[in-house]
Structure 1
Amino acid sequence: MADAEELLAMNLSAEQLAAAVAETTAVVRAGWSEHPHAAIILGTGLGSLAEHITIEAEWDYRDLPHFARSTADGHRGRLLAGRLADVPILAMDGRFHAYEGYSFSQITFPIRVFAELGASFLILSNASGGLNPTLRSGDILLIDDHINLMGPLVGQVFKLPHESLYDPRLLARSEQIANEEAIPLRRGTYIAMLGPNYETRAEYCWLRTLGDAVGMSTVPEVLAAGELGLPVVAFSMVTNVFRLDDTQQTTSEEVLHAASNAEPNLRRLVTKLLTSDL
C-alpha cells in the first residue's frame, strides 16, 4: 500500500477513500471504545485546551494510518480521546494546512474519521488576523459564514448542502453561553487564504472590505463536514488587528502569545457548549 502522504495526495475513488477511513477508524476504536459526543480541532495557540482533557487514549499522527503530520508552530500532532467536563470527545491537538503541502483530501481526512466514529458535531478553532476595525486582540469571533480564497479546487469535490454550513443551533447556543458567562464574543465572516505568508498592507485593505477576520485554515474542514452532514461551529481567536497606521509585521510568536492569553475564555465557552442540551 502507498504511504499516507502518497495515498491521500492522489484523487481517490469513493471506494478507496472509504477503505482508508475504515482502516483509521478501526485503529481508534481498538484503543478507545467510547462514542464521542463531539470532535474538536485545536488550532494555533489553543493546544493548551488539551491540558484540561482527561485523556483515556492518544495517538501520534504518525501512528494513525493515512493521517498527515502537523508541522506548523504550536501544533503538537496527536489525536486525543477522553473527556472534557465528563463529556466523551475526540480532539486533534494540531491540524493540517494547505501551506504545509497537503491536499484538501489530506486536510479533511480526519473529519471523515470523526463522522465514521459517530461524533454528533464538530468544534473548530483557529487564530486569525482581525480586519473589522472594531475587533480587538483577544476577541473570539464566532464564524457564521466564510469567503474561500484558497484558490481553485484541485482533486476532491465536495457536494455541499444548500443551507448554512455553520449550524444555526450551535451558533445560537454559543451566543447564549457567551452572554451568560460574560465572554466577549463577536459574530462575523472569516476569510480563508492559503498562506503561509501574512497578508500585505494592500491585501489587508482589500480584505477588510470583504470580511471580519482572515486566516489560513478551517474552511476545508467545514466543507467536508457539510458534505458529511456533520454540524459545525467554528471559533476564531483574533490575535492581531490590522491598522492602517501600523507599519510593524505580525510574527508567529505574537500570534501564539495572543492566542494563549485568550484561551481561557474559549475553553469556558467550549466546555459549556459540550455540556449543553442541544
Structure 2
Amino acid sequence: MKTIPVGVTAATTAAAYIRERVGAAWQTPVAGIVLGSGLGGLADRLEDAVRIPFSHVPGFPQVTVAGHAGQLIVGTLASRPVVMLAGRFHMYEGHDAGLAAFPVRVLHALGAPVYVASNAAGGVRRTFEAGDLMLIADHMNLMFRNPLIGPTEQGDERFPDMSDPYDPQLRALMREAAQAVNVPLHEGVYCGLVGPTYETPAEVRMLEKLGADAVGMSTVPEVIMARAIGMRAVAVSCITNKAAGLSHEKLSHAEVMEAGRSVAGRFEGLISAFVQRL
C-alpha cells in the first residue's frame, strides 16, 4: 500500500484546504468530534454545515467501512463551532497507526483544543446491554501499535504522559451533560484490538480478567496522538452488543449499526449538551 504522509506538514496542508473550502464562514472550532459506526446522525444536527468528502481532503484516503459516511463537516452544534469526522480510518483496513491518528493532527491544525471520540464497542462488563453508553475513563492498547513510532514530529511530545489520557475535567463535564439531558452514562475501561474479526469467547474472558469493560477496534491511536500534540481528549462508547460468549447471539456489523441507530437520540443529546458547555 502506498505510504501517505501523516506528519505536521501534511496536517497543515489539509487544514489550509479545509479553511479555504469553508471560506468566510470559517470559525475556530471548540472541538473536533469523530463519529463511530452507526452514530453519524449527529452530523445532521449541525447548522450552516459545509461537507467535504474525505477523498477531497489532502492526505485522507477513501473510507471503506459501512456506516461511515466519509465526510469532514464544519458547522455549529449547540451554537458552538465544531469540526466533525463522519467516519474514521482503521488499521484493519490496511492503514498504519499513524494514518489512523492523522485526522487528529488535522483537527489540531484547525485549532480545535478538544478531541471528542465516539465508537461502537462490545460490552465485556457483564451488566452492559446493547444501547448503553460508556464514558471511557482509561484504555488498554492491545493493538500493539503506536502512532508515535518513528521520528518525532515538530511540536510532538516524545514520551507523552498517559496517566489521564481521557481528561478528568472533560469527563466531569460529560457526566454533567448526561445528567442535564437525563441520559444514563456508565464509565469504564476501553480495550483497543486491531480487528477486523470480533473477539473469541476465550479472548473476551481474558479481557474481562485484565479489567476491560468494553472492546473495539479504534480510538486508542487517536487519543495517543491527541495527548502527544497537546489536545485534551474525551470519549464515549456505544455498547452495541454483549461480547462473544456473554450471550447466545452471533455478532455482525449489521447488529452494530442497528444498535448505534437505537441509541442515536440519547448519544446526540449527550454530545450536544457537552459541546454547549465547552
Give the TM-score normalised by structure 2.
0.91
SS in 2 for 1:133: coil
CA distance in 2, matches of 1:71, 1:268: 28
**Aligned residue identity for 2:82:** I
**Equivalents in 1 of 2:243, 2:237: separation in Å?**
15
Q: Is 1:183 paired with 2:164? A: no
* Amino acid aligned to 1:91: M
- 2:128 aligns with one of 130, 135, 139: 135
| Residues 248/136 of structure 1: CA separation in 2 closer, same or farther (3 Å cut) | closer
2:4 to 3, 7, 27: 7
* Residue identity opposite 1:75 in structure 2: H
Write the distance in 2 (CA, Å) between the matches of 1:120 and 1:252: 32
The match for 2:204 is 204
Conserved? CA contact 1:68–1:106, under 8 Å: no
Whether the 8 Å contact between 2:147 and 2:224 is mirrored in structure 1 is no
2:76 equivalent in structure 1: 83
Tell me the alpha carbon deviations over residues 200-226 of structure 1, each in whole angstroms, 9 at most, x when there is no partner. 111111112221000000000000000
- Contact persistence 1:144–1:189 (CA under 8 A): yes
Residue-by-residue CA offset, 1:93-146 (whole Å, 9 max, x unaligned): 110100000011111111111111111211100000001011111110000100
SS at match of 1:179: helix
Compared with structure 1, are the counterparts of its residues 155 and 146 closer, same or farther at alpha carbon in structure 2 (3 Å cutoff)?
A: closer
Q: Report Cα offsets for 1:51-97 as digits up to 9, x if no partner.
A: 11124322111111111221111011110011112211100011010
- Alpha-carbon separation, structure 1, partners of 2:163 and 2:28: 27
1:55 touches 1:80 (CA, 8 Å); kept in 2?
no
Partner residue in 2 for 1:220:
221
Q: What is the deviation of 1:155?
A: 6.9
Distance 1:243 1:106, change over 3 A: closer
The answer to whether the Cα contact below 8 Å between 2:148 and 2:225 also exists between their aligned partners in 1 is no
Extract unaligned runs of 5+ from structure 1: none
Aligned residue among 21, 46, 50 for 2:11:
21
Give the AA of the match of 2:213.
D
Partner residue in 2 for 1:37 = 30
Q: Distance in 2 between matches of 1:27 and 1:259?
A: 31
| Structure 1 position 126 matched with structure 2 position 116 | no
Please say if 1:74 is aligned against 2:67.
Answer: yes
Q: CA RMSD in A?
A: 1.8
Once the two structures are overlaid, the 10-residue window that deviates more, 89-98 or 204-213, is: 204-213
Aligned twin of 2:273: 272
Contact 1:44 1:126 in 2 (8 A): yes
Between the aligned partners of 2:228 and 2:165, the Cα distance in structure 1 is: 9
Letter paired with 1:18: V
The change in CA–CA distance for 1:224 and 1:153 in structure 2 (over 3 A counts) is closer
Q: Any residues of structure 2 matched to 1:98-177 within 5 Å, and which?
A: 98-153=91-146, 156-157=149-150, 159-177=159-177
Instruction: Report how many residues are paired.
Output: 267
TM-score by length of 1: 0.91
What per-residue deviation string (whole Å, max 9, x for no partner) do you get for residues 226-273 of structure 1? 001101110000011137463432111111001110011111111011
Structure 2 letter corresponding to 1:201:
P
Contact 2:126 2:246 in 1 (8 A): no
After superposition, the Cα gap between the structure-2 partners of 1:152 and 1:162, relative to the gap in structure 1 and judged at 3 Å, is closer
2:72 aligns to what SS in structure 1? strand
**Equivalent pair of 2:204/2:244 in contact (CA under 8 Å):** no
C-alpha contact 1:46 1:260 (8 A) present in aligned 2: yes
| Matched-pair contact (CA < 8 Å) for 1:5–1:68 | no
Amino acid at match of 1:103: D
Change (3 A) 1:154 1:264: closer
Answer yes or no: is the 8 Å Cα contact 1:43–1:95 preserved in 2: yes
2:230 maps to a residue whose letter is G
Q: Distance in 1 between matches of 2:249 and 2:181?
A: 34
